[in-house]
Amino acid sequence: MAGKWLKISVLIMAFAFILTGCSDESGGEAGTNSDQTEITLGFYSSGSADEKMNELIQKFEEEHPDIKVKTQNAPYQQFFQKLDTQIAGGTAPDVWLSDGVFVQKYAERGAAKDLTEWINEDLEKDEYYGLDFNKDSDGKYWGVPQGIQIGALFYNKDMFDQAGVEYPDESWTWEDLKEAGAKLTIDTDGMKADDASFKPDSVKQYGLTFFNITEGWMPVMKSYGGGVLGEDLRNSIIDSEENKEAINYIVDGMERGIFTDPSDLQAFQSPMSPFPSETAAMRIGIYARTLAANETGVNYDVTVLPKGPDGERFSPTIANSWVISESASDEKAKAAWEWVKYWVQEDEVQKEWAALGEAVPVKKSVANSELFLESGDKPANKQAFLDSFEHAGTLDVNAVWSEWVKKFGDNINRAFLNETSVEEALENADEEVQKVLDEFYENQ
């Protein structure tokens, strides 16, 4: 368990010292007094949101004069690299903001504190979105959501109007999306994907841009009845007829030039650029993608993601969460829990963070208020994100999520690029992902 972290090499420790120089650490103006408990709070930086985070920390300290907060923050990659090393060395922050896909990694490796008892005592669980996404198979809670990212279908209204295609709605299937996408895909000669002379290798406007696990293959596979891991999250279910049907659907869209493939995305500064740059008419996007779309002024809206062939719908969800360190003393852990409660229970805190537009508010009363739904910023149909919770699910997150995602991605990308068959890609991915799972869980 915790000993696994100690096996991380001395070289990584040395790297952490370098990273320390890149991170921002701040403490109180004049340290703590004897009546205060000082806690260290870690979070990954997100531009202008840092200022708001520090404002909220200051207000928390004013309302909790017995607690002093020292902060540690750094850009996303550096923050989590350093955090792994801090955990190995027993110097992790007392409470930190975790990407939702990493919470189970910390839990299963003994780095996170079990919050079940405190959550049961202090939180009305029905009042919050995403709380159960941090619950393991034994019913234990390992984190409390800080903000929710949930997937929806983004569409460019101007492109749809120009093509004479009706806007997508909740009745759409993935086949409806492809049919509409063909009318929205245009090559450099102005031909559409439905035209006989269309050139799929010379596309200037795509019907759908397709990117990675969350905003790419996972929602399609799940809505086709497939997925990557079984319910126990320790066994691969990749090599299935449902997944074969889903991946064949995607590959067909890519071969016809309607969907971007991994090679197409290399032409962009970021694989997330085609929709905000108006090179693609649609995208699968989490809530945070509204920021880039709003910055570029795209005339867009959103709706729920399409249904699979049997009517199933899947909305990928990431509950970025507060995690309390297992190595924190009882005194510091209790003080850290006060911060977590302050974050999720206080309407004013939720409203101030929601105003940044980075995530769906955790507290349902705030998410369903005019502040979120009628903020004035696009998209107009923010209700679609809340409706998507009816079909929400995690990304089969477990302790080795990053490792198996890479194995699956490497194999499936070869099918997307026609370097191998769909059948072979799924067979290889199934074998390699299972090996990753076995190597970790058989040693537990």
List C-alpha distances in Å: 56 to 69, 140, 266, 321, 346. 11, 28, 39, 16, 11
What does the pLDDT average to over 126-131?
96
More confident call, 8 vs 71: 71
- Residue 35 pLDDT level (bands cut at 50, 70, 90): confident
Q: What is the mean pLDDT of the chain?
A: 92
pLDDT digits (tens, 9 = 90+) for 385-400: 999 999 999 999 999 9
* pLDDT the model gives residue 211: 84
Looking at the chain, the whole-number percentage of residues with pLDDT higher than 70 is 93
pLDDT digits (tens, 9 = 90+) for 291-307: 999 999 999 999 999 99
- Residue 369 pLDDT level (bands cut at 50, 70, 90): very high
Q: Which two tokens stand for residue 346?
A: 């206080």
> What secondary structure letter does DSSP report for 112?
B
pLDDT digits (tens, 9 = 90+) for 331-359: 999 999 999 999 999 999 999 998 888 99
How many CB atoms are closer than 10 A to CB 66?
12
* pLDDT the model gives residue 28: 41
* pLDDT the model gives residue 2: 43
pLDDT digits (tens, 9 = 90+) for 43-66: 998 777 899 999 999 999 999 999
* pLDDT the model gives residue 32: 63
* pLDDT the model gives residue 377: 87
Q: Which helix (H) or strand (E) holds 415?
A: helix 401-416
Burial-class residue 427 by CB neighbours within 10 Å (0-12, 13-18, 19+). Answer: middle
- Residue 10 pLDDT level (bands cut at 50, 70, 90): very low
List C-alpha distances in Å: 307 to 95, 195, 224, 323, 355. 39, 27, 8, 34, 31
What string of DSSP letters covers 295-331?
HHT--EEEEPPPB-TTS---EEEEEEEEEEBTTS-HH
Q: Is the pLDDT of residue 414 over 90?
A: yes
Q: Which two tokens stand for residue 347?
A: 């309407």
More confident call, 48 vs 408: 408
What pTM was estimated for this model as a whole? 0.91
- Residue 375 pLDDT level (bands cut at 50, 70, 90): confident
* pLDDT the model gives residue 444: 76
* pLDDT the model gives residue 31: 57
Helices 241-255 and 174-184: crossing angle, nearest 10°?
A: 10
Q: Is the pLDDT of residue 169 over 90?
A: yes
What does the pLDDT average to over 126-139?
94
* pLDDT the model gives residue 6: 44
What string of DSSP letters covers 22-63?
TSEEE--SS---TT-EEEEEEEE--TTHHHHHHHHHHHHHHH
Task: Find the range with the poorest average confidence among 136-140, 172-176, 437-441.
Answer: 136-140
